[in-house]
Amino acid sequence: MKIAVIVFPGSNCDIDLYEALHTVCDADVEYVSYKQDNLDGFDAVMLPGGFSYGDYLRCGAIARFSPIMPAVIEFAKNGKPVFGTCNGFQILTEVGLLPGALKRNDSLKFVCKTVELTVKNTNTPFTSLYKKGEKINLPIAHADGSYYADEELLAELEENGQVVFRYSKENPNGSLNDIAGITNKQGNVLGMMPHPERAVEMLLGNEDGLRVFKSLLEEGKVKG
């Protein structure tokens, strides 16, 4: 499996994703500039956290117009795995690959801490190695992480099993239904505010995020 990590101006978690895949998982991974216009030869795409385009206008609102994004959209529509963490999640909602929106935290403050999550859906390319209902701990670092959708969309997400991760002991940002991560209807696009790439080695505090990437690589072996 060959994996692309998209690099936008202002990204600061692209290296985290790359090293989680390359150093820890020994995966075939490459940086791909936002200036590129195709993803030929890749089997999965990662959109990193950070502050693409300085978070000017609105988080992810400028990045969604980058030259690479039409290729990401086509990639996702072809059923291939696309993952976005933090700002990557925001970009995925802005470009319409995931429903809903991320708004300012209820506290109106930047929140940086480790939070407990409940794994709600293990039937995705990114969560097959977790157990449904399992509690895990992952770091968050965001100011605009409160997930919002209208009542009809929230009901649809719940009914379809699109909620993959839910905040457990506390809701750090005011996300409706305690939502921390969702997929599209097909299940091949996952967006989440927590950073699994920052929890892949005990040196970093815990390894609870490692199985996001291990699951993806196992998926690649099965399809390969």
Q: Write down the catalytic residue from 59, 94, 197, 219.
A: 197
User: What SS3 state is found at 138?
Assistant: strand
Q: Write down the catalytic residue from 13, 59, 94, 195.
A: 195
Q: How many Cβ atoms sit within 10 Å of the Cβ of residue 55?
A: 18
Q: Write down the catalytic residue from 59, 86, 94, 219.
A: 86
Determine whether 197 is an active site residue. Answer: yes
Determine whether 59 is an active site residue. Answer: no
Q: For residue 147, give every residue at least 6 positions away whose Cβ sits within 8 Å of its Cβ, in sequence order, or none.
A: 100, 101, 102, 175, 176, 177, 179, 180, 182, 193
Burial status of residue 112 (CB atoms within 10 A of its CB: 0-12, 13-18, 19 or more): exposed
Determine whether 195 is an active site residue. Answer: yes
Q: How far apart are CA 175 and CA 145, in angstroms?
A: 7
Question: Scanning the structure block, which residue is given the tokens 């977790």?
Answer: 130
CA 52-203-193 angle, 5° bins: 30
Residues annotated as catalytic (active site), given as ranges: 86, 195, 197
